[in-house]
Amino acid sequence: MTREVVWDRGVSLPGHRLWLDPLVVRSFAFISHAHTDHARRHKEALLTPQTLALIPEARRPRGWRMLGFGEPMRRGDGRVTLYPAGHMLGSAQLHFEHDGTSVLYTGDIKLRQPGGVPPTFVPKADILILESTYGRPHFRFGDPDSTVEAIARWCRLALDSRVTPVLLCHALGKTEEMMLALAPYGFEFALEKRCVSCARDYAAAGRPLPGWVEFNGDPIAGRVLIAPPVGKDEIRRLGRYRTALVSGWAKDAEFARLFGADATFDLSDHCDFDELIEVVERSGADQVYTVHGYTEDFARFLRRKGIRAWALEANEQLALAL
Ligand SMILES: [Zn+2]
């Protein structure tokens, strides 16, 4: 029974009435992290306290069961344990054990971390359900610390030339982690309005941020501006500015070109191709299901290596992880 994993508008362990990041409202569901593609108003949601704090009021589940990392919880005659996923504040992997068999659902996951933080731990499991956003071999990212240093240099060069450096980052998670990574370089920040509530929530959920002001169109000399990648209208009022896309999609020449940023940096909160392989190896799983992004490609690659692997979603979706 435990080995049965299906796609039912979200990952489902049907034998255990357990849905993992379902796309429709369920009576009981795990929400791996606070990004809007995962949060739904479930009757009861299993999540970490940080994830609950980061989900906007309108998307909050109606009831919840908060669970900290490493605290086992009974679910029927099985056992659930959450582990950090390294994707954003509160993001969790779910480990489920039942009758001598274990399943690991990674949710959105990132192994390598900048700033001397150890890589994300991957628990052992028989069955792995893996988020495979960047499951093609051209997605190989540089060392996060070197990339942060390159971003800092790029920002400093712009500021020295009296040009505003604009980092295009997803508002929730990426913006705040970018600020924290750049803080040791002594920058001051301005945030575009869509990043403002996310930054406030992040700080309130337990991760204090370096000082920032809200960008309201007035000049912000000497500051690094962070804005979401889509809709750059506000930024155009700045006059002299330079933009950099900070995303794993920097590795996709076509996408980067379409995007039209002046520079790109391949700093991502998702695993690159090699990290995905590492998750599979470290889990020790002999059965792998892929979800999100290049699911078919990555499953095919694993099968060639002799691992039983399938894309779980019926239709491959290209989930732009911005
Ligand atoms: Zn995410």
User: Which CA distances in Å does 253 have to 106, 214, 262, 266, 295?
Assistant: 28, 32, 13, 12, 20
pLDDT-derived band at 317, boundaries 50, 70, 90: very low
Residue 320's pLDDT is what?
A: 40
Distance 218 CA to ligand 1 centre (A): 32
pLDDT digits (tens, 9 = 90+) for 177-224: 999 999 999 999 999 999 999 999 999 999 999 999 999 888 888 999
Question: 199 CA to middle of ligand 1, Å?
Answer: 16
**In the predicted model, is pLDDT for residue 23 greater than 50?**
yes
Does the pLDDT at position 17 exceed 90?
no
Look at the domain 6-138+269-311 and name its fold: Metallo-beta-lactamase; Chain A (3.60.15)
Residue 92 alpha carbon to ligand 1 centre in Å: 11
Q: Which helix (H) or strand (E) holds 64?
A: strand 64-66
* 33 CA from centroid of ligand 1 (Å): 7
Ligand 1 centroid from CA 235, angstroms: 25
For 186, residues 6+ apart whose C-beta sits below 8 A from its C-beta are none
Calculate how far, in angstroms, residue 177's C-alpha sits from the geometric centre of ligand 1.
13
CB count within 10 Å of CB 155 equals: 22
Residue 37 has pLDDT above 80, yes or no: no
pTM: 0.94
Q: Residue 304 C-alpha to ligand 1 middle, in angstroms?
A: 28
**pLDDT higher than 70, residue 318:** no
User: Ligand 1 center to residue 108 CA distance, Å?
Assistant: 5
* CA 68 to centroid of ligand 1, rounded, Å: 19
DSSP 8-state secondary structure symbol assigned to residue 67 = -
pLDDT at 313: 77
Question: Helix, strand, or coil here: 58?
Answer: helix
Is residue 239 left, alpha or beta, with left meaning phi > 0 and alpha meaning psi from -120 to 50? left
Which residues are close to ligand 1, an ion, with C-beta < 5 A?
35, 108
Residue 253 has pLDDT above 90, yes or no: no
Tokens 């809007």 -> residue: 36
For ligand 1, the distance from its centroid to the CA atom of residue 305, given in whole angstroms, is 28
Q: Where along the chain do the CATH 3.40.50 domains lie?
A: 144-265
Which residue spans of the chain are classified as CATH 3.60.15.10? 6-138+269-311
How high is the pLDDT of residue 247?
94
- Say how far apart CA 258 and CA 278 lie, in whole Å: 31
Architecture of domain 144-265: 3-Layer(aba) Sandwich (3.40)
What does the block give as tokens for 319? 């989930």
Q: Is 258 helix (H, G, I), strand (E, B) or coil?
A: helix
Contact 13, 2 (CB under 8 A): yes
Range among 145-154, 241-250, 256-265 with highest mean pLDDT value: 145-154
CA distance 35 to 28: 18
For residue 50, CA distances in Å to 30, 54, 62, 88, 313 come to 14, 6, 17, 10, 28
Cα of 221 vs centre of ligand 1, distance in Å, is 32
Which of 255-269, 292-306, 308-322 reaches the highest mean pLDDT?
A: 292-306
Report CA(82)–ligand 1 centroid distance (Å): 16
Pair of tokens at residue 280:
């599979």
Average pLDDT, the chain: 92
What does the pLDDT look like over 66-88, one tens digit per residue? 999 999 999 989 999 999 999 99
> Cα–Cα–Cα angle for 87, 92, 97, nearest 5°?
140
Count Cβ atoms below 10 Å from residue 64 Cβ, excluding itself: 18
Q: How far is the CA of 200 from the centre of ligand 1 (A)?
A: 18
**269 Cα–ligand 1 center, Å:** 8
- Other residues' Cβ atoms within 10 Å of the Cβ of residue 119: 13
Q: How far is the CA of 129 from the centre of ligand 1 (A)?
A: 15
